[in-house]
């Protein structure tokens, strides 16, 4: 196991779209072990995606179980994940190990249904919501070459609009 180097913005490689995983072998599982070690070494990191360490394959890990009082599914290894249903957009604040010293508000669906493969090639369907759903979507954005910076919404005026309706 080895901790990997995390690419940080504005590294152009973070914009690269990742390829689907085709082979579920020991090399894949060894890489996932390194990716997980890298995630857990980060301060407060609850997820990581392979492109953050320069591997452009559709692999992410999410584990929000360290957060108190939330529903979660423990350690999730997500390979070739696809969101098949989503609902209820909500705003939440996000940060990223690839974007140090900055956090911002992002709108995302609060509830998602996800299909993915695990590291042994078994297919799963998962329904989740809240913090875990946000973390999963944040990681899936990395697979598309997107950062939360691409989805920022204003911190201001999110409750009342200035416009007069009459």
Partner 1 sequence: MAHWYIVSVVGKDRSGIVAHLSSALFENGCDLGEASMMRLGDCFTIMMMVRHDGNTHSLLQVVQPVAESMGLHVHVDKVDAHLHRHLEPDVHITVHGADRPGIVAQVTGALCEAGLNIVNLESDVGGSDAKPIYVMHIDGIATAGVPALESALAIVSKQGVQAKLNPIEIMIA
Write down the least CB distance from residue 103 to partner 1, Å.
5
Taking the C-alpha atoms of residue 52 and residue 127, their distance in angstroms, rounded to an integer, is: 25
Write down the least CB distance from residue 46 to partner 1, Å.
5
Residue of 71, 94, 139, 144 with catalytic role: 139
Task: Note if the bond before 10 is cis, omega within 30 degrees.
Answer: yes
**Burial (CB count within 10 angstroms: exposed 0-12, middle 13-18, buried 19+), residue 25:** exposed
Write down the least CB distance from residue 23 to partner 1, Å.
26
119 part of the active site: no
Quickly tell me which residue has 């697979």 as its tokens.
143
Nearest to 126 by CA among 65, 64, 71, 83: 83
- Where does this chain bind partner 1 (CB under 8 A)? 42-48, 62, 67, 92-97, 101-103, 131, 134-135, 138-139, 155-160, 162
Which is closer to partner 1, CB of 100 or CB of 121?
100
What residues are annotated to the active site?
139
């Amino acid at each position: 196991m080895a901790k990997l180097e995390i690419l940080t913005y504005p590294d152009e490689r973070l914009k690269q779209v990742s390829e689907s995983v085709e082979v579920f072998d020991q090399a894949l599982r060894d890489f996932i072990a390194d990716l997980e070690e890298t995630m857990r070494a980060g301060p407060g990191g609850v997820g990581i995606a392979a492109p953050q360490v320069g591997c452009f394959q559709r692999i992410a890990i999410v584990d929000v179980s360290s957060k108190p009082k939330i529903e979660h599914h423990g350690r999730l290894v997500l390979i070739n994940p696809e969101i098949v249903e989503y609902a209820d957009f909500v705003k939440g604040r996000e940060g990223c190990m690839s974007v140090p010293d900055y956090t911002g508000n992002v709108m995302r669906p609060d509830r998602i249904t996800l299909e993915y493969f695990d590291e042994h090639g078994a297919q799963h369907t998962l329904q989740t919501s809240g913090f875990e759903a946000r973390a999963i979507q944040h990681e899936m954005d990395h697979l598309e070459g997107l950062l939360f910076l691409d989805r920022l919404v204003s911190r201001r005026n999110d409750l009342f609009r200035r416009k007069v309706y009459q």
